[in-house]
């Protein structure tokens, strides 16, 4: 499996260029999905006292894992059939394959890949971590130009937070507070170009994303040529390139609209009404 150079990558992109989903279509989808905001996941209700023992990232991991595993049946773990009523249905391609693409089909004909963004509710007292934790949601290497349909595919980022349960005072449940959609084509283009700008790249036809290893970085600093003939999975293998285990994390994708949306400060206003 040979390394795909930056020139080869750009040539592939140019050869397979396509019209990205229109602004009008994005606006239509956002209007259709508006009822999602406020949907509460009653399957998990956590007493306020217990939250004191957890860091926000720990709760986010628990909730994220639960919601991710339930993606095909989200309408069954909310308090209503919200996910069905907005025109979303599960994509048959994800049955039996948790990492299939995309997650949802919409009645409009558009396809949506769902990513969950946990937002820390500042009005809940929780254990604070020594350093901020990076969100784990990502557009993995399974989402590439081989399977993305530029005029149909959208990244649906759902922001959710722990909010007081509507029917159980003193208990907190995951609640959708906002969402945004972005063209998947633009997101993966920014993701991949960031990798190449950092002197990494794809091996094979979008099979394995790689970055410079510590050895490769030392060579780069010494103006020595990088060996692009193979890659490793661990630093002790001594390769100049390693498989990128953080590939596609949303925070690291330099697509400006997405980058701005996932900033924590973006959601401050959602909690002001709760402050006493």
pLDDT tens across 149-164, in order?
A: 999 999 999 999 999 9
Q: Six-digit token pair at 122?
A: 């500042």
Which residues touch 67 (CB under 8 Å, ≥6 apart)? 41, 74, 77, 116, 160, 174
Domain ranges of the chain: 18-183+255-274
The conformation of residue 38, written as its DSSP 8-state character, comes to T
Residue pair 199/226 in contact by the 8 Å Cβ criterion:
yes
Whole-number pLDDT of residue 276: 47
pLDDT in tens, 87-111: 888 887 644 555 679 988 999 999 9
In this prediction the pTM is 0.90
pLDDT in tens, 240-269: 999 999 999 999 999 999 999 998 888 888
Nearest to 137 by CA among 170, 113, 162: 113
211-217 long-range contacts, Cβ below 8 Å, gap at least 24? 211/241, 211/242, 211/244, 212/240, 212/241, 212/242, 213/239, 213/240, 213/241, 213/242, 215/239, 215/240, 216/240, 216/241
């Amino acid at each position: 499996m040979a390394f795909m150079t930056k020139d080869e990558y750009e040539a592939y992109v140019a050869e397979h260029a396509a019209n990205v989903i229109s602004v009008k279509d994005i606006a239509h989808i956002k209007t259709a999905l508006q009822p999602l905001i406020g949907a509460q996941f009653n399957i998990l209700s956590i007493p306020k006292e217990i939250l004191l023992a957890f860091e926000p990232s720990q709760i986010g991991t628990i909730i994220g894992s639960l919601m991710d595993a339930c993606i095909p049946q989200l309408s069954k773990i909310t308090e209503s059939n919200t996910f069905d009523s907005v025109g979303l249905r599960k994509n048959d391609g994800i049955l039996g394959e948790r990492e299939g693409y995309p997650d949802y089909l919409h009645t409009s004909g558009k396809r949506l890949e769902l990513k969950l963004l946990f937002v820390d509710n500042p009005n809940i007292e929780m254990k604070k971590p020594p350093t901020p934790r990076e969100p784990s949601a990502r557009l993995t290497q399974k989402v590439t130009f081989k399977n993305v349909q530029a005029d149909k595919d959208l990244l649906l980022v759902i922001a959710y937070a722990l909010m007081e349960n509507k029917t159980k005072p003193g208990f907190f449940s995951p609640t959708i507070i906002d969402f945004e959609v972005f063209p998947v084509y633009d997101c993966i283009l920014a993701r991949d170009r960031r990798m190449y700008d950092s002197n990494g790249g794809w091996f094979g036809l979008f099979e394995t994303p790689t970055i410079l290893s510590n050895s490769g970085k030392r060579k780069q600093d010494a103006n020595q040529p990088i060996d692009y003939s193979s890659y490793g999975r661990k630093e002790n293998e001594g390769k100049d390139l390693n498989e990128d285990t953080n590939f596609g994390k949303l925070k690291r994708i330099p697509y400006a609209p997405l980058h701005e949306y996932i900033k924590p400060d973006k959601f401050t206003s959602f909690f002001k009404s709760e402050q006493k």
